Structure 1
Amino acid sequence: MHVEPLTGHRAVVRVAVATLWTSPDAVRPVDAPALGPHADTAAWIAGMDADQQVGDCVLSQLLLGEQVLVTEERTGWARVVAVEQAAAPLDPRGYPGWLPTDQLAPVPDDEPTGPPLVVDTTVTALRATPHGPVRVPGVVLGTRLLPAGPAVDGWRPVHVPGQPAPHWLPEHHVVPLPDRPPAAGEVLGVADRLRDVRYVWGGLSPAGIDCSGLVHLAWRRFGVRLPRDAGAQAAATAPVELGTERVGDLYFFARPGRGVHHVGIVTAPPGEAGRRMLHACYRHRRVVEEQLPPDRTATLIGAHRI
């Protein structure tokens, strides 16, 4: 697809949701819908059984317009660093992994600039014209888009990576990216909209998400870039004394002698009934809000604040 090699340069994701893989060899037959220039994340997740949804071949996901640094190319694949998803223990530049090359576009020399918009609906689609045919389906909450002009009759034109002409989406599906830190309740409100979403290891979309992905995406909606994994999120946030946590803080969990393995968002002040959180739960295989059961409380190592 690309005339010039991408290695050593930045590129941009041109599909709604691109899955970051451990290696090209790790891809399974069931993963076919997530590959190629028209990746369909919802169909991919719907086609997997519960065990396949927690396979170790997926690292993370990247959203439309997200930039990467390409470090290597192999036939049909690019090894990249996802520079907008901090992962210091793995690479100080960002999260490393592999993407299909045809899900990337070169960063243009005349890259558009301006105040960004952010998708504030769970899922939307970009169209060739207002009310016209869909060109990019499955664009998800938290995706940043650059406006290509003022709204027209309730439709907003936006720039799309790899496309010369603007695409359109309903004006009310996007909002200006805030220029202030969000209130904790605002972030929790976004995360709560993902309640009952399936648990998918490495997922970062309303089609499927994991525990740190839920935290990352909820804050990303407001322009706050938290690290991608739970351990790195713990290292990047400020501890508070247990018993003083507030709604919107984060609970972190680890087993004795091991690193952080889970994170959830505090949904109520601690009380006699115990603690509550919203989290993408491996056991329930979905996003739930619940009181911490005893075995979860036994691995609670602290609360942190952003």
Structure 2
Amino acid sequence: MRAVRVAPVLAEPRAGAEQVTQLLPGERVEVHQREGDWLRVTAPAQASAKDALGYPGWTPVADLAPDEESVVAIARTFLGTTYVWGGLTHDGVDCSGLVHASFRAVGVAVPRDASDQASACEPVTLGEERPGDLWFFAKDGRGTRVTHVGFVTDPATSTMLHAPDSGPRRYVVEEPLPDARRATLVSAGRF
């Protein structure tokens, strides 16, 4: 499991208990026990004399996601974030910055720009995408230069998570693939 946002690690499984450390977005944890909405975890990246496996404590279930779902879960924490050209944070992010920051949080190095991301990932045949794959778009719809990228979140309904750079919404959204965007879809890929 991985943290999908900055998450508290508490001494006991209850709100208001003493915070003993925090998990950073993408930080891996080992889960040892569940008690209601709380998980007893150890954080291997945080060495501690308290436990040879890593810093121990309790964290809310809602703040963690399975490894295979963690990149999209982290990207979803950006929902509503304003589109900012060149942005990489919750203060403002662009489309490729959303992809870069989400993968970076789980320790996967991907290029910064959409065109470089399209060149570096493993190609996926359109129609065979899985959640977490990427869709790439070109203004002319012919793929001469990729200018936009978004996460595939539900291939069956053509739903994507992205930071639109134009149109009525200039903030991170998860939405069915708009017709105007579908006309410019040129490829899919996987990291």
The alignment's TM-score, normalised by the length of structure 1, stands at 0.42
Whether the 8 Å contact between 1:252 and 1:303 is mirrored in structure 2 is yes
Whether the 8 Å contact between 1:216 and 1:227 is mirrored in structure 2 is yes
Q: Which residue of 2 aligns with 1:210?
A: 94
Measure how far apart 1:123 and its partner are: 8.9
Q: Which residue of 2 aligns with 1:188?
A: 72
Q: Which residue of 1 aligns with 2:84?
A: 200
Aligned equivalents of 2:102, 2:177: Cα separation in 1: 21
Structure 1 portions without partners, runs of 5+? 1-117, 125-129, 132-139, 158-169, 174-181
Whether the 8 Å contact between 1:245 and 1:270 is mirrored in structure 2 is no
Measure how far apart 1:150 and its partner are: 2.6
Aligned equivalents of 1:122, 1:209: Cα separation in 2: 18
Aligned equivalents of 1:198, 1:276: Cα separation in 2: 20
- One-letter amino acid of the counterpart of residue 266, structure 1: V
Percent identity reads 44
Measure how far apart 1:296 and its partner are: 0.6
Asked if 1:280 is matched to 2:163, the reply is yes
Relative contact order higher in (CA < 8 Å, ≥ 6 apart): 2
Measure how far apart 1:148 and its partner are: 7.7
Aligned equivalents of 1:213, 1:119: Cα separation in 2: 19
From 44, 48, 60, give the equivalent of 1:150: 48
Measure how far apart 1:245 and its partner are: 0.9
Whether the 8 Å contact between 1:142 and 1:217 is mirrored in structure 2 is no
Rg larger for: 1
Q: Which residue of 2 aligns with 1:30?
A: none
Q: Which residue of 2 aligns with 1:267?
A: 153
Q: Which residue of 2 aligns with 1:163?
A: none
Aligned equivalents of 2:87, 2:6: Cα separation in 1: 15
Secondary structure (helix, strand or coil) at the match of 1:261 reads strand
Secondary structure (helix, strand or coil) at the match of 2:155 reads strand
Whether the 8 Å contact between 2:25 and 2:74 is mirrored in structure 1 is no
Cα gap change, 1:202/1:267 in structure 2, threshold over 3 Å: closer, same or farther?
same
Task: State the Cα deviation string for residues 213-264 of structure 1 (Å, max 9, x = none).
Answer: 1111111111101111101100111111111111111000002364110000
- One-letter amino acid of the counterpart of residue 265, structure 1: F
Q: Which residue of 2 aligns with 1:252?
A: 136
Secondary structure (helix, strand or coil) at the match of 1:150 reads coil
Task: State the Cα deviation string for residues 47-68 of structure 1 (Å, max 9, x = none).
Answer: xxxxxxxxxxxxxxxxxxxxxx
Q: Which residue of 2 aligns with 1:229?
A: 113
- One-letter amino acid of the counterpart of residue 153, structure 2: T
Q: Which residue of 2 aligns with 1:75?
A: none
Whether the 8 Å contact between 2:133 and 2:152 is mirrored in structure 1 is yes
Cα gap change, 1:151/1:264 in structure 2, threshold over 3 Å: closer, same or farther?
farther
Whether the 8 Å contact between 2:26 and 2:70 is mirrored in structure 1 is no
- One-letter amino acid of the counterpart of residue 230, structure 1: A
Map residues 1-306 of structure 1 onto 2, 5 A cutoff.
Answer: 120-122=4-6, 141=25, 150=48, 182-183=67-68, 185-256=69-140, 258-271=144-157, 275-283=158-166, 284-306=169-191
Whether the 8 Å contact between 1:277 and 1:289 is mirrored in structure 2 is yes
Aligned equivalents of 1:226, 1:277: Cα separation in 2: 19
Measure how far apart 1:293 and its partner are: 1.4
Aligned equivalents of 1:280, 1:123: Cα separation in 2: 24
The alignment's TM-score, normalised by the length of structure 2, stands at 0.65
Whether the 8 Å contact between 2:5 and 2:77 is mirrored in structure 1 is no
Secondary structure (helix, strand or coil) at the match of 2:107 reads coil
Structure 2 portions without partners, runs of 5+? 9-17, 28-44, 61-66
Aligned equivalents of 1:217, 1:186: Cα separation in 2: 12
Whether the 8 Å contact between 2:4 and 2:70 is mirrored in structure 1 is no
Cα gap change, 1:208/1:301 in structure 2, threshold over 3 Å: closer, same or farther?
same
Corresponding residue pairs, total: 148
Cα gap change, 1:202/1:172 in structure 2, threshold over 3 Å: closer, same or farther?
farther
